[in-house]
Chains A and B, each alone.
Chain A
Amino acid sequence: MRKLLILLAFLATPAFAVQPDEILPDPALESRAREISKLLRCPVCQGENIDDSNAVISRDLRILVRERLVAGDSDDQVIDFVVDRYGEYVLFKPRASGANWVLWLAGPGMLVLGGGMAWIWLRGRRQAVPPEALTPEEEARLREILKE
């Protein structure tokens, strides 16, 4: 089904990205609309946000976002409104809740873990380690060099 949708999206007449007729007269509202559009994924495209997408549904979503803004919604309300109807899939930045904590904490967690390990290792490095003994071949080679 998703493949079919993607196919349909390609066949549909491309009306590329934000169109002049969509733009709101109020520049402040419009710039908020643009910021919100960058957070929302085009449901039928391959990884494009609705701001860049050429699909018809993205145009509908862009207009929807602007309608909500004109109606006086806050940015979060607009996003909630779209997510309620199209699902979490349209959010490019998953909400930090439930399993998504793993995603959000992967970096900081790894930094703490790796940093701790590095710290312990670096502390150990301050003590002298006796130099490694030479192998018999290396000793022979050393004697040769000393003779020269």
Chain B
Amino acid sequence: MIVELGHFALVLALGVAMVQAVLPLIGAWRRWNGWMAVAEPAAVVQLMLIAVAFGALTWAFVTSDFSLRLVVMNSHTDKPMLYKISGVWGNHEGSLLLWSLILALFGACAALFGTNLPPTLRARVLGVQALIGVAFLSFMLFTSNPFLRLSVPPMNGEDLNPLLQDPGLAFHPPFLYLGYVGMSMAFSFAVAALLEGRVDAAWGRWVRPWTLAAWIFLTIGIALGSWWAYYELGWGGFWFWDPVENASFMPWLFGAALLHSAIVVEKRESLKAWTILLAILAFGFSLIGTFIVRSGVITSVHSFASDPERGIFILMILGVFMGGALLLFGLRASAMEAKGVFSMVSRESALVTNNLLLAVSSFVVFVGTVWPLFVEIASQDPYWGAMQNPFYALGLFTRPQVLSVGAPFFDAAFTPFMVALALLLPVGAMLPWKRAQAGRVLRQLVPVAVLAFAVGALVFAIQTGRSALVPVGAALGLWVLGGAFVDLWTRTGRGDLSGRFGRLTRLPRADWGKATAHAGLGVTIFAVAAMTGWATEVIKVVRIGESFDLSGYQVKLVDVHEEKGPNYISTMAEMAVTQGGKPVSVLFPEKRVYPVQAMPTTEAALDYGLFRDIYLVIGDPQVGGGYAVRGYWKPFANWIWIGCGLMALGGLLSLTDRRYRVAAGARNARAVPAE
């Protein structure tokens, strides 16, 4: 019964979304206040209905209702409660329900907190948001209904993919979706502004908090996923340039670009058309991400769903929304001319450069991700029906080809843009608006540059004979990090130290946010370089009682025994780590077998430290006795995610800046004329 209520609520939500998509948009066009006013209650009701549906599905998972097809496919009575709940979104149908729930949540937030928006803009934003809702709710109901019953319920379920039974991954999808879907707000604002035919500083101020929020969630989601990969997949890699990772990385890069360009709109009323385009593209890439993950078109480690019917549906959603928005953009963009005047050397130009580099690097990720798919389709046959394959005629292909694009390509093609970005960042961040003197800013940064260069040279001298990766990464990271400090410090003006410290605490939160986020990027750059370049690895056969050396630590295999978990059987090793005779820690790496899914997983054991992780993995028993054991020493590993955390924190600080909290109330006081 509860399940049917959920199902019914979902169908009702589709109906409400349809009303919310049609009436307010017509109302805003015809200036009918009554029709526009429908948007607000509709958005709230839509959220409540989808929440009921989500609650019902969660109920089915928690109580292991095996008459529900989805529960049978993804759950099991023995599964721990956390994973019964995370199992709700650990599959195609449930994750779409979560997608729609978050979409409705953002819509309702815009309805409730957006009271300061001009009525027509608000009606249009909510209308466009509801259009997206209609698309996804019908996608769910027509191709991926989570509430389908089975006529003969089985005794037990088939369990969730064991790789997904992990706390890190339980919370990775919700954050990622909050980010993906959050970009829909920027999109709705962009389309609404195009419909209004007007973009001004106020628009920039309204759209930036939503983009910031979405970007913060994406940052956290990506960091969680990467951390999960680091400790779960068993060899300590943290980023694989897998299509699914790229799918989340592209909106992140576009979101970062949008954050920066929205500042220009807000402060200088310039870059308007470009910002609108970025908002459209950021959401477009979120949709492409959803398409890649949900259609299974590009098979990858993460792709658990593949069904062409669904793929085509999402492709249609993508086509309609991107096609429509870009057409509207083409028709209306020229009306949005920029106002601000500025010289070649200015904050504005610096932000344009930032946008250029972020957009191009995202484009590289996109091309690399879809290239294998494109080549496979385009090079398939010399003849397409009666027509000669145009790619053959052009000489692009001479035979059917399949190829791969992976980490080595992205390392080579993507990194240069990030290096350029990091090099320019500290300078650009400190340039004043309108007209700047580069020399003045550069002089302020000289100490940081010298320090960064010196550290890079020192690292290079110490680690003779290894790659230049760490020295360059360390210098770049320090340059960005130090630049953030200098930026903040110069904001305090002149005078004695105590006065400047006093002013430091009173700086707007946006300044702190900017410096924190930039510092986070510097930390991450440094950590990625240090960990990639310096990590050491030991792979050997070790008998019980034997020890081996791992970068100054001694690791002893004390014991190996079988252990039974709630829904798996584990071969657990006990390994004692010591340094110079002093005990450091005792670690228990495991090899698990999940009988229901017949799938083995390795559970690495880690001793986390601020400056290094010790990472141990137990392998198969060997023919001659002993076990294959792998040990890694990973310097500065945790700084990668500390850096991501700083970036997210910086975003949060900016989000709580006074101008977003107070200005809203100030605008409330006056009646905004409805154009």
Q: Which of B299, B348, B401, B404 contacts A92 (CB 8 A)?
A: B404
Q: Which of B356, B408, B602 contacts A38 (CB 8 A)?
A: B408
Those of B343-389 within 8 Å (CB) of chain A? 343-344, 348-349, 352-353, 356-357, 359-361, 363-364, 367-368, 371, 375, 378-379
Q: Let me know if A47 and B337 touch, CB within 8 A.
A: no
Q: What 1/0 flags go to B377-421 for Cβ under 8 Å of A? A: 011000000000001000011100111111111001110110000
Q: Let me know if B300 and A47 touch, CB within 8 A.
A: yes
B675 contact set on A, CB distance < 8 A: 135, 137
Q: Let me know if A99 and B375 touch, CB within 8 A.
A: yes
Contact residue range for chain B?
35 or more
A8 interface hit (Cβ, 8 Å): no
Q: What 1/0 flags go to A22-40 for Cβ under 8 Å of B? A: 0100000000000000110
Q: What 1/0 flags go to A107-146 for Cβ under 8 Å of B? A: 1001100110010011101111101100101101100000
When A23-B539, A92-B409, A122-B344 are in contact, do A110 and B360 touch as well, CB less than 8 Å?
yes
B326 interface hit (Cβ, 8 Å): no
Q: Which of B237, B344, B403 contacts A89 (CB 8 A)?
A: B403
When A19-B539, A135-B675 are in contact, do A88 and B401 touch as well, CB less than 8 Å?
yes
Q: Which of B242, B339, B404 contacts A94 (CB 8 A)?
A: B404
- Give A102 to B409 CA distance when docked, in angstroms: 13
Please give the distance in Å from A46's CB to the nearest CB on chain B.
Answer: 5
A128 contact set on B, CB distance < 8 A: 341
Q: Let me know if A127 and B341 touch, CB within 8 A.
A: yes
When A93-B412, A98-B397 are in contact, do A118 and B364 touch as well, CB less than 8 Å?
no
Q: Let me know if B406 and A49 touch, CB within 8 A.
A: yes
Please give the distance in Å from A22's CB to the nearest CB on chain B.
Answer: 9
- Give A145 to B391 CA distance when docked, in angstroms: 64
- Give A101 to B427 CA distance when docked, in angstroms: 34
Q: Which of B234, B339, B402 contacts A88 (CB 8 A)?
A: B402
B239 contact set on A, CB distance < 8 A: none
B139 interface hit (Cβ, 8 Å): no
Q: Which of B337, B338, B353, B619 contacts A118 (CB 8 A)?
A: B353
Q: Let me know if A91 and B403 touch, CB within 8 A.
A: yes
Q: What residue of chain B has the Cβ atom nearest to residue A99's Cβ?
A: B396
- Give A14 to B397 CA distance when docked, in angstroms: 37
A90 interface hit (Cβ, 8 Å): yes
A72 interface hit (Cβ, 8 Å): no
- Give A25 to B149 CA distance when docked, in angstroms: 59
When A14-B600, A18-B539 are in contact, do A118 and B405 touch as well, CB less than 8 Å?
no
- Give A141 to B670 CA distance when docked, in angstroms: 10
Q: Let me know if A125 and B404 touch, CB within 8 A.
A: no
Q: Which of A103, A110, A126, A141 contacts B368 (CB 8 A)?
A: A103
B235 interface hit (Cβ, 8 Å): yes
Q: Which of A87, A100, A106, A129 contacts B337 (CB 8 A)?
A: A129
B342 interface hit (Cβ, 8 Å): yes
Q: Let me know if A46 and B299 touch, CB within 8 A.
A: yes
Q: Let me know if B402 and A87 touch, CB within 8 A.
A: yes
When A88-B401, A99-B396, A122-B349 are in contact, do A115 and B356 touch as well, CB less than 8 Å?
yes
Q: What residue of chain A has the Cβ atom nearest to residue B623's Cβ?
A: A21
- Give A5 to B379 CA distance when docked, in angstroms: 23
B441 interface hit (Cβ, 8 Å): no
- Give A128 to B599 CA distance when docked, in angstroms: 67
A75 interface hit (Cβ, 8 Å): no
B378 contact set on A, CB distance < 8 A: 99
Please give the distance in Å from B260's CB to the nearest CB on chain A.
Answer: 14
Please give the distance in Å from A100's CB to the nearest CB on chain B.
Answer: 8
Q: Which of A16, A17, A107, A125 contacts B417 (CB 8 A)?
A: A107
Tally of contacts, chain A with chain B, CB under 8 A: 153
Please give the distance in Å from A9's CB to the nearest CB on chain B.
Answer: 12
B522 interface hit (Cβ, 8 Å): no
B363 contact set on A, CB distance < 8 A: 106-107, 110
Q: Which of A38, A49, A118 contacts B352 (CB 8 A)?
A: A118
B30 interface hit (Cβ, 8 Å): no
- Give A14 to B363 CA distance when docked, in angstroms: 37
When A18-B539, A93-B408 are in contact, do A125 and B235 touch as well, CB less than 8 Å?
no
- Give A50 to B541 CA distance when docked, in angstroms: 20
Q: Let me know if B235 and A17 touch, CB within 8 A.
A: yes
A90 contact set on B, CB distance < 8 A: 404
A121 contact set on B, CB distance < 8 A: 352
When A15-B620, A99-B391, A107-B417 are in contact, do A118 and B356 touch as well, CB less than 8 Å?
yes
Q: Which of B344, B367, B398 contacts A103 (CB 8 A)?
A: B367
B444 interface hit (Cβ, 8 Å): no
Most buried by B among A52, A98, A125: A125
Please give the distance in Å from B105's CB to the nearest CB on chain A.
Answer: 33
A138 contact set on B, CB distance < 8 A: 673
Q: Let me know if B541 and A20 touch, CB within 8 A.
A: yes
- Give A92 to B413 CA distance when docked, in angstroms: 13
A93 contact set on B, CB distance < 8 A: 405-406, 408-409, 412
Please give the distance in Å from B373's CB to the nearest CB on chain A.
Answer: 12
When A46-B301, A91-B403, A127-B341 are in contact, do A16 and B622 touch as well, CB less than 8 Å?
no
Can you spell out 28 A-B residue pairs with CB atoms less than 8 angstroms apart? A16-B234, A16-B628, A17-B235, A19-B628, A41-B404, A46-B301, A47-B240, A47-B404, A47-B406, A88-B401, A88-B404, A89-B402, A92-B408, A92-B409, A93-B409, A99-B396, A99-B397, A103-B367, A106-B363, A107-B363, A107-B417, A111-B357, A114-B356, A114-B359, A118-B352, A122-B348, A125-B342, A127-B341
Residues of A within 8 A of B (CB): 6, 10, 14-21, 23, 38-39, 41, 46-49, 52, 87-94, 98-100, 102-104, 106-107, 110-111, 114-115, 118, 121-123, 125-129, 131-132, 135, 137-138, 140-141
Besides the known contacts A46-B303, A103-B368, A118-B352, 11 further A-B residue pairs in the complex with CB atoms under 8 A apart: A14-B600, A15-B620, A19-B628, A47-B300, A49-B407, A92-B406, A99-B396, A104-B413, A110-B363, A125-B341, A129-B341
Please provide the 8 A-B residue pairs with the shortest distance between their CB atoms, ordered closest to farther.
A92-B406, A93-B408, A107-B364, A106-B367, A137-B673, A99-B396, A93-B409, A20-B541
Residues of B within 8 A of A (CB): 233-235, 237, 240, 242-243, 270, 299-301, 303, 337-344, 348-349, 352-353, 356-357, 359-361, 363-364, 367-368, 371, 375, 378-379, 391, 396-398, 401-409, 412-414, 416-417, 539-541, 599-600, 602, 617, 619-620, 622, 628, 630, 673, 675
